[in-house]
Every structure is written in C-alpha cells, then in structure tokens.
Structure 1
C-alpha cells in the first residue's frame, strides 16, 4: 500500500533575494522564484557528519527515510545532488523527492559538496585557470580539479556513501538512482560517466556537460561507467556556461547525442507535450534516454521534476548484477502523444504521430500587413506558418478538389463540412458561409497554402503552439518549448547535424 503525499503550508518570504536563505533550515519559511521553489523543511530529514572515505576527510549528508520503510524489504535509494553554493538540505527543500518518497517508499540521500559548497568536477584543461580564479562576491568559484576523476574526493564520497547506506539499510542494489540540479547536474553526469555501473539511472536539471568532456577529438565517447537510463531536464530560459565556448543548442543536443551513442539509442523518439513540459523518449538497445524541456522556466529545477523522473523513468528500471538493465512498466508510460503533428518553416517534412512524413512542399511563413495610412510604410500585424492544402488533407483524412488549375480548392472533411479557398483571399467559404481567416491563402510551389494555426483551431478546436519557427498541434493543452523545437528542426531538416534518425515516409 502506497503512502500519501501531504503538502504543508509554509510562511512565504516574498522579500527574499538570496539563492538559499540559511534561515529556512528547520523552519516553515518557503521561497519561490522562476527557477527554484521550496517546500517546508522536511521533519524527517536528518543530517549526519562522518569520515567515510579513505582520505579521512569529514563529510556531511542528509538522509530521508519515509515512515513506510520496512527493514525486511529491499528499498530503492535516490541520491540527489545540490547545485553550486547550496547544500544537501537545500536540495531537499527545492525538490519534491521527499514527497514522492513518502508515497513510493524509497529512501533519499542528499550529500554536501566537500569544499566551498561546490562539487569538484573535471574541466576543459584550457579553461581551468579561467574558471577557478577567484570570482566576485556572490558568484561561484570552481574548486580546481586535481588528479583523475576517480580520485576526486566528491566522487569517492558518493561511492562511500552508497556503501554506508547499504550497510545501514536494506537497500535494493539494483535500484539505486542519482539526480542533480545545476552544478549537481554536472556532478551527476560525471558520476554517471565514470561510475555508472553503480546506478540504474541518472537524471539532471539545469546544466548540461561541456561537450569537450564527452567526446574525443575524433568524435568517440569518453565513458567508463557504461550504459544506464538517462534523464535530462532543460529549462527554456537557461543558458550554457560561457566557458563552454558553444551555443546552447550545440551543447544540449551534444549531451543528448552522447548518451544516445552510449546507450545505442539511434531511432526516432516518442514525443509527448504535457502543458509546458516537453518530453522526448528515446529507446536504446542498452538503455533509454528522456529529454524534458520546460517552457518559461529559468535555471534550476521544477518542483515536480522529481515526480516526473520517478514516474516516467526510475520507477521502471533496475540494474542487474552483470551491468545490464531490466525495464518494467513505469508508473507513467513512455509513449508519445496519440494525436500530434509538427511543422517547421522551410522544411518539406512534418512530424505526424511520432513519424516523419513528407509534406510535398516546404512549409512557408506569411506576414499579415497593415500599410493603409502609413505613407508607404508597413506594420506586421501577424506572422503565420502556412501549409499546403494537400498536406492538410492528408493529415485530417479530407478530400481535396483543385479548381482553376490549383489556385482555388475545395476541402471536404470526413464529417462532411466543406471549405473553399482561393488564392489572395483572406476569406474562405465554410458550408456556404463566408469566414475570415488569419491571413490570405497564398499560391507557391504550385500549391495553395493556408494558415495551419487558423485551420486547426477553427476546424477542430486543437491546441496550437509555436517556438522558433516550429509549430506543434495536438488535442490537449501543450506548449512547445525551446529545445524541443530545436530537436524537431533537427529531425525535419535535410542535414542532420547532431544525430542520425530513422526516417519513415
């Protein structure tokens, strides 16, 4: 029987501007900003200090044991790694891991970085001096890495803490997971790449890894940890660290490419968009990868990030003694939207129900202008992605009748409704009544085009969202976000710069 999640009312500190106000520890204070949102400090969160590594350095960590823990039963364990300038207890209040643990019965451990609240992470050797020099007050200074990654104290701390938790509790060795936020995301990635054999899955939010650390100069992956399920949460307004010397798009898609190569996941993903959460599920021969892109979020993690990770990934995977993975049914299935399609400007392909199909001609953008009374000037009042009527007819199972050599057409929908369009006219005839569209019909590439947004909303009351010249249409509330639009652009382009996808015509 599952436990119950109970949210406690907190005392909002709306005047707070500190990243992690120290007064929140052990109190009912809560803070909210568009990257991190806190919960009331968990009563059952217990802090510990100890010398558990072979270098005899003292470390701090926080354990959360749900009330339902039964020492006679094997129990899953989740490590959750804090961001830079934070703490283990800070990570516990900025996530919902303790809430999900109350319901599902797993344990959580929240370690502290050993030095300066900053994890020791590997860096591009050419950038070490730059990124480890003293930073202005309030800004993080990275700890200078020394030795090999396997010798970093923080990496040894994670390994030693796992051994301690196994000695102390009845931990299911095949169901140990790790997740991190911001610098904790980078730390989690580092642990996964070098010590992945210890975990069934790893997840991170807010900071992808420097591409330089992922690939050799000839494009081979740098990895000794092996395959494990990977979850990557990205936020629309987040930015890649400047010392990476790569744009956001390249870094994020290279991180995705890296794990697709390690996990041998080369096919098309299943795409599902739930509100502002954009999900791409990649199935691999060795392990799976999920990309979650959240619209209108800043650097950090969403409060339900833990819930999403557990429900869609951690709840459905375990590691076997030989290092392979066994997948079973997670709480939420990893299938794409049942009805959804996407088009991209300049692309002659579309994403239709999780397959790539030909549209017959490029998708075009048309601007609706205001110029009357502007003395020769103009104002763009609307800008619309337009698709050919032939493609629209195919997607919706409609019958298309071309008139006047194709500059006029009648579209008959499966339910019997008729739409008549004509080049240059913003009006259309719907069941013998005049209706104004968002912009006029245009004739290009020997085809008649209309606004896809207008047709989908008017004819079928569908949800339409757009980001960076990619439009996503589905039958429920969904808002396409930044990285999902880039992923779809990549898949629908003729030159695939980041990954190889199987195309279905």
Structure 2
C-alpha cells in the first residue's frame, strides 16, 4: 500500500524570535527562518520517560511509528539527534523525518540529551576548560558544553542511543541491517561521534551543520581516529554557516577535513560526481568500502533544510544496508543519483576544466578580467563586472564546435553552424557576419584568444551560470554554485586536494 505525504496547515507565528518556542509542543504553531523551518506537531509522535539505563537519570525520547508501519515486515529505523538547546520533539518538527517515515514505513526515534539540552561529546583537551565553563563563556552567546567524563562509549548519551536501539529492536520488528542515524547542529556532532565509535551498529550516518573538530578526527600523525569502521556518510553544509570558533581552524579547512576523514576511511579518494540542481550542490564520492555525499546548500544559514530528511532518505538511506560482518551493501535508492551530464566548471589559474564531470585540458590558463567604468570619474574607476576567461577554441569544442583559427583574431564554428569571429581588444564579435557585443573584450595571451566564459555559455547556449569566489559553474539547467562545493571543485582543478586537511 502506498501512503501519501500529507502536509498539515499550521498557525504561522511570524513574530517568533525564539529558537524553539515551547508553545509549539502539541500545538499547530509553525515558525520559519533561513535556517530552520517547522511543521505542525505530529499527532503520532509519542513521548517516553524512563530511567532506561538504571543510573538514576530519567531519560526522555520520542518515537514516531507511522500509520504505514507493518509489524510483519522487517523495518528500517532512523535515529535523529537534536541540536544544542533543543529537544527530541523539536528535532522532529524541524525536520521532515515523520513525513517521509509515513510514506516509506520506517520508524524514527528522537532522543533528548540527558543534561542541559546539550549532548555529551568529545572536546579538544586544549579548549576543555574554556568551552565547558559557563563563567568563561559569559557574554559570548555560546552555551557551555557538558564536560566529558570517561571514554566515549561510556558517555551517558552514547549509552542511551545504544540502549534505545536495543529497546526498539525488542518493541518493533526492526531490520538490524538498516539502522541509521542523523543529526542537526550539535546533533550532527553527536551523530559523528556515534558513527566514529559505534558505527558497527549503523549502516549510514548523516548530519547538517556543525562539522566535527578535526582534532577529534585525526591524531598528531594525521592518522584516522576511528573504532566504528566504514559506513555511508552524508554531510549537509549550509553556505552561511560558520565553524565553531574554538576549533581554531577556518570553515574551509574544517569542512574539507570532515569530508576527507570519511573519504579515507571509506576508500573514496577519486573525483566526485557532481550534481547541482537549484540551490543544492551534491558531490558524491564513491568508495571501495562505502560512499560519501556532501550536500552544500546555497544561501542557507545554520540549521537544516526542511527536505534534508527526504534527500538523505531518497539518495542514501533507502539503498544502503550493513551485514553483521560490517560490509556495507548498496541497492538502488528511491531516487537515483545522476551527475550533471551537461556542465562546465572553471577556476582561476587552472589549466584544466571539468567538462561534463571529467577533467579536460584547456590549452591555456583561466584568468580573471574586470570590466571598468572610468569616464567622468576624474581619473577614478568603477568595476562593473568581473569575469573568468577561457580560450574560445576550448569553449567552442566543449559545445561540439570546431576551431578555425586562433591568435590575435580567432574564428570558431559552433555545432549548429553559426560562425563567430573575435579580435584581441575588441568588445564585439561577429556572429554570422553580424556584430554583437560581449560583456567584456576579447584578450589574446600567448597566441591564444580568450573570451568571458560566462558570456559564451549564457549568451550562445542559454546555460545557467553561477560563480563563487574563483570558481564558475555552468549547466544546461538552473544551478547555483555554493561556497563549499566551489572550494572542492577549485582544489580538484588546481590539483590541490592532496594539501587539504586530513589528506595523506
């Protein structure tokens, strides 16, 4: 039987400025911002309170058993871990896990952190006192972490997850080969911790926001710190998100370190398969032991997109399982991942491009040139545009055309028969003997004539072009390049991956 996802209309509270307003619980209130979006509190979400570990702490968790659950079938289970200062029910309404579960028939459990609404997670020894002492964080707006006690497997919250897994197996018909864990913000850090130390019990892990401190991933010799083994990994990053200050490393370093940790462990060191659709930038690294997916979301703040659960389920969880010996198995996912078949990526100073996902030589080097206005500015100037340039002969061939001549003047014939002519220093070109202005002048360097790649792709082929920093991505569909994807692509084209955090 197929179940339909039903979106419930809510009572929109635009005046809300609280991270998680308590009044939402059990109500029809919904709130939205550029990092988190809520749904109406699900009627089938049940609260459970018990000293389940027998250590005097009354833990709280929430179970979602969809109407579509069939107790006669082995059923997948998803743990979803809330962010700092949140709750299990808050994580449920700030995601679409319950909606996806209703359609697909799997179960969800949303635990509460046991103390101060903050998970007990590993901390960098050098920053331990600073980040676990409220007085030292006073006025910073940063909540104090719970001071870790014992080893990671001994942490109360880690033992809680494992006990809840045991409980869910006793209570429901759980498919032990298809148990997954996902988290948001601090819940992502908690998910990463569980994956690294208790990963043998989970087929895959996913998370949004808050990458892990790289000092907890690699030892002083750059070796991986891991007790859980390979597993499929999904990392969602939000373009405007920031790495916690106490990590002591910048956003690029930390995010790349987190991706590379799992790439190394999973044997996924090859080139990524790239799919940029709308604002979602997906980079899939297929591995010998397991896969790694990076999703970077353009123009998004800290949190998780409302469809993050749907994306994770459709492209990862729905097709991965783990056998008792720890082998990761892949089956067709609900939606097949398809890399962009018609796309071009360029980055400044690179001598190669990614054309339809494959590195190809440019026959030159990409450079940037500004379009200036200086008339009437009394010797001053304004930059009206800034463009990445590529050899026109390369661009023509990339689109199936041919180069007829090159140098201070150049002619190319496009695959549809159009004949284009260019001249060094001229902002115009001719198309079938008709003058047309480009966005910036043609430039000849080392005997090769260059034109703005954005103009060529957009004006001649109606491709969508977007840029971040030194990188351009053009595709035959709507695609907006985001910053983490741009950094990863740039390092591939400049052959700098080996120097990234965590790489050997």
Q: For residues 242-268 of structure 1, give each alpha carbon's deviation from its aligned partner in whole angstroms, at most 9, with x where no partner exists.
A: 000000000000000100111111111
Within 5 A, what are the aligned runs for 1:74-85?
74-85=74-85
Correspondence for 1:231 among 203, 218, 234: 234
User: What displacement does 1:326 show?
Assistant: 1.0
Residue 500 of structure 2 is matched in structure 1 by: 498
Correspondence for 1:317 among 303, 315, 320: 320
Q: For residues 389-418 of structure 1, give each alpha carbon's deviation from its aligned partner in whole angstroms, at most 9, with x where no partner exists.
A: 121122112111226xx1111110111011
Correspondence for 1:162 among 157, 165, 172: 165
Residue 205 of structure 2 is matched in structure 1 by: 202
Q: Does the 8 Å contact 2:260/2:502 carry over to 1?
A: no
State the alpha-carbon separation in 1 of the partners of residues 500 and 283 from structure 2. 15
User: What displacement does 1:499 show?
Assistant: 7.7
SS in 1 for 2:492: helix
Q: Please identify, of 134-143 and 17-26, the stretch whose mean Cα deviation from structure 2 is larger.
A: 134-143
Q: Does the 8 Å contact 1:204/1:233 carry over to 2?
A: yes
Within 5 A, what are the aligned runs for 1:88-127?
88-127=88-127
Q: Does the 8 Å contact 1:132/1:143 carry over to 2?
A: yes
Residue 174 of structure 2 is matched in structure 1 by: 171
User: What displacement does 1:56 show?
Assistant: 4.1
User: What displacement does 1:219 show?
Assistant: 0.8
SS in 2 for 1:337: coil
State the alpha-carbon separation in 2 of the partners of residues 484 and 498 from structure 1. 14
5+ residue gaps, structure 2, are none
Q: Does the 8 Å contact 1:2/1:105 carry over to 2?
A: no
State the alpha-carbon separation in 1 of the partners of residues 502 and 111 from structure 2. 38
What RMSD over aligned residues (CA atoms) do the two structures have, in Å? 1.3
Q: Aligned pair 1:44/2:44, yes or no?
A: yes
State the alpha-carbon separation in 2 of the partners of residues 263 and 399 from structure 1. 42
Q: TM-score, normalised by structure 2?
A: 0.97
Q: Does the 8 Å contact 1:281/1:335 carry over to 2?
A: no
Q: Aligned pair 1:283/2:261, yes or no?
A: no
Residue 350 of structure 1 is matched in structure 2 by: 353
SS in 2 for 1:84: coil
User: What displacement does 1:458 show?
Assistant: 1.1
User: What displacement does 1:495 show?
Assistant: 3.3
User: What displacement does 1:446 show?
Assistant: 2.2
State the alpha-carbon separation in 1 of the partners of residues 224 and 338 from structure 2. 28
User: What displacement does 1:320 show?
Assistant: 0.6
SS in 2 for 1:212: helix
User: What displacement does 1:53 show?
Assistant: 1.5
Within 5 A, what are the aligned runs for 1:337-416?
337-402=340-405, 406-416=407-417
User: What displacement does 1:22 show?
Assistant: 0.2
Q: Aligned pair 1:433/2:437, yes or no?
A: no
Residue 464 of structure 1 is matched in structure 2 by: 465
Q: Does the 8 Å contact 1:266/1:500 carry over to 2?
A: no
Q: For residues 381-440 of structure 1, give each alpha carbon's deviation from its aligned partner in whole angstroms, at most 9, with x where no partner exists.
A: 11111111121122112111226xx11111101110111111111111011111111001
